[in-house]
């Protein structure tokens, strides 16, 4: 959610249109427009429309983007001697900016089970949520608003009764600490996202409580990754895909010279 200082931001970074609210310096996430930036290849730059359509369809299928998003813009990125590439910006029609409040819980206990649930055609992120435990009956929230403030996130939410779960577009971590009204609780949802349980009219703050003297929460995150068998479920890319990959001690002098040459050209 930080501002990108360069248009060529990291792969799969979500670009969010925001609006200033009040004079407190906080920003409210707007859901009208949200864009997803994905890396592509130079085939997408082909002047022939049929070739571009084929390349675009291949990328959408690879990332399982459904429903089919509209290709909004293409940037050409310089590969610094390792081949140019393209950034593809897709416009999402109904992105989650905190307004998804699913009520149907599906249980999963490791990354493979999460993956199987989340990729089912009938899985609707607005209505369904995958979790390790059943939080009990859930009701649809009447309203949820997500604000980004200095060093924290604020959520204003309410429901007509019972407990609701707001699916926040924030990566879950044991370092996230929640406070406020409505008996708020953070739970891992859909493997990587943060679910916010609350009741009634709630005013909630979420802080990332990590520092040099409070690093235990990150060890808990590592333990979660092992417990959920996330490493086993992730496809590991070959080391040679990285231009500066080191596979043996003999590679170190060569890679050091390549890095120095790379930084000289950047200056």
In the chain, domain spans: 14-92, 104-227, 240-266
Give the DSSP H or E segment for 166.
strand 163-171
- Give residue 238's pLDDT: 54
- Give residue 65's pLDDT: 73
User: Under CATH, which architecture does the 104-227 domain have?
Assistant: Sandwich (2.60)
* CB of 168 closer than 8 Å to CB of 147: no
Give the DSSP H or E segment for 112.
helix 111-118
Q: How many CA atoms lie within 13 A of 156 on its CB side?
A: 7
Task: Chunk the chain into consecutive blocks of 10 residues (it has 267) and report each block's average pLDDT, rounded to whole numbers.
Answer: 33 39 45 66 66 77 72 66 68 86 97 93 93 96 92 94 96 97 97 97 95 89 95 68 73 85 74
Q: How far is Cα 10 from Cα 6, in angstroms, rounded to an integer?
A: 10
- Give residue 255's pLDDT: 83
140 CB neighbour count, 10 Å cutoff: 14
* CB of 25 closer than 8 Å to CB of 12: no
Statement: the pTM of the whole predicted model exceeds 0.95:
no
CA atoms 181, 99, 164, 229: torsion sign: negative
Find all residues with CB under 8 Å of 181, minimum gap 6, and list them.
200, 201, 202, 203, 204
Torsion of CA 194, 195, 196, 198, to 10 degrees: -170
């Amino acid at each position: 959610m930080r501002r990108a200082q360069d248009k060529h931001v990291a792969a799969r970074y979500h670009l969010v249109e925001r609006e200033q609210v009040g004079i407190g310096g906080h920003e409210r996430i707007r859901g009208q427009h949200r864009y997803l930036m994905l890396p592509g290849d130079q085939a997408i730059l082909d002047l022939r429309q049929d070739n571009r359509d084929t390349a675009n369809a291949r990328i959408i299928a690879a990332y399982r983007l459904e429903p089919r998003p509209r290709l909004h813009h293409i940037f050409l990125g310089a590969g610094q001697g390792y081949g140019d590439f393209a950034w593809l910006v897709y416009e999402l029609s109904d992105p989650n900016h905190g307004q998804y409040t699913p009520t149907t819980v599906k249980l999963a206990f490791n990354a493979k089970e999460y993956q199987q649930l989340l990729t089912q055609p009938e899985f609707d992120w607005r209505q369904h949520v995958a979790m390790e435990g059943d939080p009990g009956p859930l009701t649809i929230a009447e309203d949820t608003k997500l604000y980004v403030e200095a060093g924290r996130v604020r959520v204003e939410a309410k429901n007509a009764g019972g407990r609701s779960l707001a699916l926040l577009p924030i990566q879950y971590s044991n370092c996230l600490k929640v406070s406020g009204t409505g008996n708020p609780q953070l739970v891992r949802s859909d493997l990587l996202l943060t679910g916010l349980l609350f009741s009634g009219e709630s005013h909630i703050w979420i802080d990332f409580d990590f520092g040099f003297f409070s690093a235990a929460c990150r060890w808990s995150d590592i333990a979660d990754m092992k417990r959920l068998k996330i490493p086993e479920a992730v496809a590991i890319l070959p080391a040679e895909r990285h231009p500066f990959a080191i596979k043996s001690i003999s590679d170190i002098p060569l890679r050091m010279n390549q890095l120095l040459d790379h930084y000289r050209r950047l200056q």
